[in-house]
């Protein structure tokens, strides 16, 4: 178990129908994760309905797409983030 595990409190997020909590029908999503775990593959699969298994490391692309959920049109912005290593000791944690 990590020495940092006691610094975080996990609480459940209440579930609401998506359209009740999004007044402007705009949703922003950031895809986070380690290097080589499939962030870009997941984003491309969502946007294009295709799977491409070989990617170059990305610099953090931003994609937009409109989707229909329960008959309502929603604007999505998906940020495909690059992997950044953080040294916890540098922040005094």
The residue range of the domain holding 60 is: 16-84
- What pairs with residue 64 in β-bridges? 77
CA pair distance 27, 22, nearest whole angstrom: 7
CA pair distance 62, 75, nearest whole angstrom: 13
What CATH number has the domain bearing residue 20? 3.40.50.300
Report residue 1's pLDDT band, with 50, 70 and 90 as the boundaries.
very low
Question: For the whole prediction, is pTM greater than 0.75?
Answer: no
> What average pLDDT score do residues 80-85 get?
79
Has residue 6 got a pLDDT over 60?
no
Has residue 45 got a pLDDT over 70?
yes
Please compute, for residue 65, the number of CA atoms within 13 A of its CA located in the half-sphere on the CB side: 15
* Span 23-40, pLDDT tens digits: 678 888 888 888 888 888
Higher-confidence residue of 54 and 7: namely 54
> 8 in a domain, yes or no?
no
> 27 in a domain, yes or no?
yes
* Total domain count, the chain: 1
* Span 67-77, pLDDT tens digits: 888 888 888 88
> 40 in a domain, yes or no?
yes
> 89 in a domain, yes or no?
no
- Tell me the three state secondary structure of residue 46: helix
Dig out the tokens for 73 from the structure.
């049109």
Comparing CA positions, the residue from 51, 50, 22, 39 lying closest to residue 78 is 39
Report residue 87's pLDDT band, with 50, 70 and 90 as the boundaries.
low
């Amino acid at each position: 178990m990590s020495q940092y595990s006691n610094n975080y409190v996990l609480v459940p997020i209440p579930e609401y129908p998506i359209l009740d909590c999004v007044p402007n029908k705009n949703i922003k999503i950031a895809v986070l994760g380690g290097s080589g775990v499939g962030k870009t593959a997941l984003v491309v699969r969502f946007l294009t309905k295709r799977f491409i298994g070989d990617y170059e490391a990305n610099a953090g692309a931003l994609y937009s797409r409109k989707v229909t959920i329960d008959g309502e049109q929603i604007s999505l912005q998906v940020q495909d983030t690059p992997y950044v290593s953080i040294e916890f000791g540098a922040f005094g944690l």
